[in-house]
Amino acid sequence: MEVIKQVSTIRQRVQAFRCGGKSIGFVPTMGALHEGHLQLLQASAQENDVTICSIFVNPTQFNNPDDYKLYPRTLDQDTELLKTVGCDVLFAPSPEEVYPQQQPLLQFSFGALEDVMEGERRPGHFNGVATIVSKLFHLVQPHRAYFGQKDLQQVAIVRQLVHTLSFDLELVCYPTVREEDGLAMSSRNTRLNEEQRQIAPSLYKGLKLAEAQLRKQPVAVIKATVAAYLESVEGVELEYFEIADPSTLQPVEDVTNVQEVALCIAAVVGPVRLIDNILVNLNEVQVV
């Protein structure tokens, strides 16, 4: 596996792959790799001639300076892991390499898609995401790019970005990989102490609680039930629980004639803010 830190070098390498007729799979990450990332890398390695992984903790998408400063950085360990999953190139640039001058950021607008949930609570977050994803897509020129359902709103934003800017690539989304107790794997989980780690699965439990109530209780009652449950778990502070349309991510007030919903949650546990979601096919929900 080749490790590339320079923009000029990744451009050359990508050019060579493209001229050689190789298909390129791309997995953008912020590192501190876990099974959720590895699933995407393995899929890419299977479906493409060449797999490129980027590790870049992107400063422009953090709206909380402490979160950026304390985000886990484990590049040596990540490099070793990547060698085991068929990754061909690791692109790990410095912030100065990616953002050479202090320039005003481009302003993206995603309309209603960014007015809810993460977009509403993390001002500027998706603008930073769209900026880095656009830059990386230009540098890596992938045929396929792999993202996780764990960041459902990010997938929707990137899908719109690809469509609006006519990026010539296929977006591939894989389901959320979880720990045995249901906690969605996340690089930020490493910042939880033992006690916090014990209560972190309550986000997933809240989602499952809501799932069990769908079509049996009105949306408002389900929301109140989830809020009451999380309030009962000491050490967890709920930011939002939302029942949303999976493609527009707008709130669903009545699920009567709805086929599928996304149940989305964000909560603070100790020093970190965690998010999670599940998709529920309402045709499979049994009403008793």
Q: Residue 124 contacts by C-beta under 8 Å, 6 or more apart in sequence?
A: 60, 61, 63
How many residues sit in the footprint of ligand AMP (CB under 6 A)? 16
Residue showing tokens 């790990």: 92
**190 φ/ψ angles, rounded to the nearest 5 degrees:** -70, -15
Q: From the list 4, 10, 14, 30, which residue makes contact with ligand AMP (rule: CB under 6 A)?
A: 30
What span, in angstroms and rounded, lies between the C-alpha atoms of 109 and 201?
A: 33
Q: Residue 35 contacts by C-beta under 8 Å, 6 or more apart in sequence?
A: 177, 185
Residue showing tokens 């990547």: 82
Using the rule CB under 6 A, is 71 a contact of ligand AMP? no
Min dist CB 33 to ligand AMP, Å, is 8
Decide whether 177 or 203 has the Cβ nearer to ligand AMP: 177
Min dist CB 153 to ligand AMP, Å, is 10
The three-state secondary structure class of 2 is strand
**Site for ligand AMP, residues 181 to 200, rule: CB under 6 A:** 184-187
Using the rule CB under 6 A, is 142 a contact of ligand AMP? no
Using the rule CB under 6 A, is 147 a contact of ligand AMP? yes
**39 φ/ψ angles, rounded to the nearest 5 degrees:** -60, -45
Decide whether 91 or 219 has the Cβ nearer to ligand AMP: 91
Using the rule CB under 6 A, is 177 a contact of ligand AMP? yes
Q: From the list 125, 150, 191, 223, which residue makes contact with ligand AMP (rule: CB under 6 A)?
A: 150
Alpha-carbon Rg for the chain, nearest whole angstrom, is 20
Q: State yes or no: 191 annotated in a binding site.
A: no
Q: In residues, how long is the chain?
A: 288
Burial class (CB in 10 A: 0-12, 13-18, 19+), 83: exposed
Q: Is 163 a catalytic residue?
A: no
Decide whether 38 or 255 has the Cβ nearer to ligand AMP: 38
Interface residues with ligand AMP (CB under 6 A) are: 29-30, 36-37, 40, 147-148, 150-151, 174, 176-177, 184-187
Catalytic residues, by residue number, are 37
> What residues are designated binding site for (R)-pantoate?
61, 154
> What residues are designated binding site for beta-alanine?
61
